[in-house]
Structure 1
Amino acid sequence: MTGKLLAILLLGSAVLAGGAMYYLQVYGFYYGVVSKPGQDVRLLAIGADEPETIAYTDFQAIDADSSPIRYRACFETDLTPADLAGYQTANDPEPLTAPGWFECYDAIEIANALQTGQAQAFIGAKNIHFGVDRIVAVTQDGKGYVWHALNNCGEKAYDGTVVGEECPQQPETGQ
């Protein structure tokens, strides 16, 4: 009888732990981002150091403090591809997935639109967090998507490679 009780206790603990991990990964750490009109969607003009705001509506975003690359956002804009020609394009943009409950953002659809030329990706801001750039993609019909991606410095810093002089100073961790 003691063996059955221990087995049930272990199985119950495993199910609870698995459920808790699932919940924390998909729901627990995310929170809605409060919109800051005129500041939410910005692009980096060619040759500029600071991004500038573009016209947008219907902004919604999520983020999490557990990782600098969990930010996702959606918006709409009236800007045409010709209007966006003066902004820095992103090299090899790869949209990161979002939780299924954040319905406006579908990484597979965004990636397909980027591959077929139906969307173009731009640099929204460099080093929004150390080693992380904000990428903004805009489709030809005015739908926009935002995510964070590791830049060259971030990839080096997080895989343990020597960062080098071209990267900004890494912030102190306070440990």
Structure 2
Amino acid sequence: MNGKVIGGFLMLTALVAGGAMYYLQEYAFYRPVEVSSPTAAIRLMSLGGMPEAMLTSDFEGIDADSSPLRFRGCFVTPMTLAMLSETFEPYEDPTPLVAPSWFDCFDAENIGQDLESGAALAFLSEKNIHPGVDRVVAVYPDGRAYAWHQLNESAEK
């Protein structure tokens, strides 16, 4: 009888701990980014090394204070890929990070595949927005654009 009680207690503890971990990873620390906040201001690094504001609309974003890598943003830009390619610095090896499942507009897997195939292009938004972290923007020909934070080479050393 004692074994069943102890086993049941261990199972209940594991279920509660697993549920808590899931909640903490998916929901607890994220907050929406207000369109008027400085975090929502998307800039791109020009080929001359100066940040320039990017024209955006319909911005939707999330962020968390618990990690500099938790920023994700979805928006639309009227800027063409041709103009962006001639004016702004491309980003080498872009790797979008997975967003929480409830943040529907950001699909890291599809964005990553489209970047690899050339269906979208990635640009440096801000170098070292946090120490060792860059903001990257991916843009599609139809104007859809996505932003995220990614570890840079200084953090990987």
Per the normalisation by structure 1, the TM-score is 0.84
Q: Deviations over 1:116-169 (max 9, x none)?
A: 22211000001100010000010011000001111111112xxxxxxxxxxxxx
Equivalent-residue separation in structure 1 for 2:139 and 2:36 (angstroms)? 20
Q: Deviations over 1:54-85 (max 9, x none)?
A: 11100011111221111110000111112212
Q: Secondary structure at the match of 1:152?
A: coil
Matched, 1:45 2:65: no
Amino acid at match of 1:29: F
Equivalent-residue separation in structure 2 for 1:37 and 1:62 (angstroms)? 12
Equivalent-residue separation in structure 2 for 1:98 and 1:4 (angstroms)? 40
Partner of 1:13: 13
Partner of 2:2: 2
Question: What's the offset of the Cα at 1:37?
Answer: 6.9
Percent of aligned pairs with the same amino acid = 50
- Unpaired segments of 5 or more residues in structure 1? 157-175
Partner of 1:65: 65
Matched, 1:111 2:115: no
Amino acid at match of 2:93: D
Equivalent-residue separation in structure 2 for 1:73 and 1:120 (angstroms)? 16
Show structure 1 runs of 4+ deviating over 6 A.
Answer: none
Matched, 1:155 2:156: yes
Q: Secondary structure at the match of 2:55?
A: coil
Q: Which one has more relative contact order, counting CA pairs under 8 Å at least 6 apart?
A: 2
Count of residue pairs the alignment pairs up:
155
Per the normalisation by structure 2, the TM-score is 0.93
Amino acid at match of 2:24: L
Amino acid at match of 2:14: A
- Unpaired segments of 5 or more residues in structure 2? none
Question: What's the offset of the Cα at 1:36?
Answer: 2.3
Q: Secondary structure at the match of 1:153?
A: coil
Structure with greater proportional helix content = 2
Equivalent-residue separation in structure 2 for 1:152 and 1:71 (angstroms)? 19
